[in-house]
Amino acid sequence: QDDGVVPTVVCFNNVINACCKGSNAIRAEAWLRKLLCEKPAIQVEIPNIRVPAEVVATRQSFTTAAQAYASSGSYEDVERIFGDMSRFGMDLDHFSLTVLLSAYARARPRQSDRAEQVFRDYLSKGSKITPPSFHVLRTCLGINRCGRLLD
C-alpha cells in the first residue's frame, strides 16, 4: 500500500485461493479473517495490509477458505466458516453446498447424517441442485440412501 496500490476483494480472494491450493487452510482462514477485520483463532503471520472500508468479503471469500478445510475432511471448520458467512447475511449457494458436502464425504468417519440434513435444508429453500453437489452427496450417502432422499 506504500506504493499507492489499493487491494480489492479480488486480491484477497486470490490470496485465499492460493493458500487453499497450497493446502494451507489456517493461512487461508487468516486472510479471510483479515478481510473481515477479525483476529484469526490461530495467529499466523501475514502482511500488515489495511483493508479499505469498501472492501468486504463475498460468498466466494468464505467458500474458498472453507474449501481449504474441506479437502482434508475438517467439516467442523467448514461448518464454522459457513456459520460466519450466514452471520454476514449470505446463504449457501450451490458452490458452498458442494464444499460442505465434500467435507462430510471426506471426513472419517463420513458424516452422512449431517450431509443429508444440509441437503434437505437446502432443498426446502427451493435452491438449485447442480451435478457436482449431487455427485458428492451420492458419494457421501451411497446410491441407495441418496435415491431414497430424492424420492
Residues 9-35 have pLDDT tens digits of: 999 999 999 999 999 999 999 999 999
Q: DSSP letters along 53-78, please?
A: TT----HHHHHHHHHHHHTTT-HHHH
Share of the chain above pLDDT 70, in %: 99
**Model's pTM, two decimal places?**
0.94
- pLDDT over threshold 80, residue 2: no
C-alpha 49/C-alpha 35 separation (Å) is 10
pLDDT band at residue 1 using 50, 70 and 90 as cut-offs? low
Evaluate whether 122 touches 94 at the Cβ level (below 8 Å): no
Q: What is the pLDDT of residue 60?
A: 98
Q: What is the mean pLDDT of the chain?
A: 94
For residues 31 and 100, give the distance between their C-alpha atoms in angstroms, rounded to a whole number. Answer: 20
> Grid coordinates standing for 42?
490461530
Mean pLDDT value across residues 109-119: 97
- Measured in whole angstroms, how far is the alpha carbon of residue 60 from the centre of its chain? 8
Instruction: For residue 86, name the pLDDT band (cuts at 50, 70, 90).
Output: very high
- For residue 107, pLDDT over 90 is answered with yes
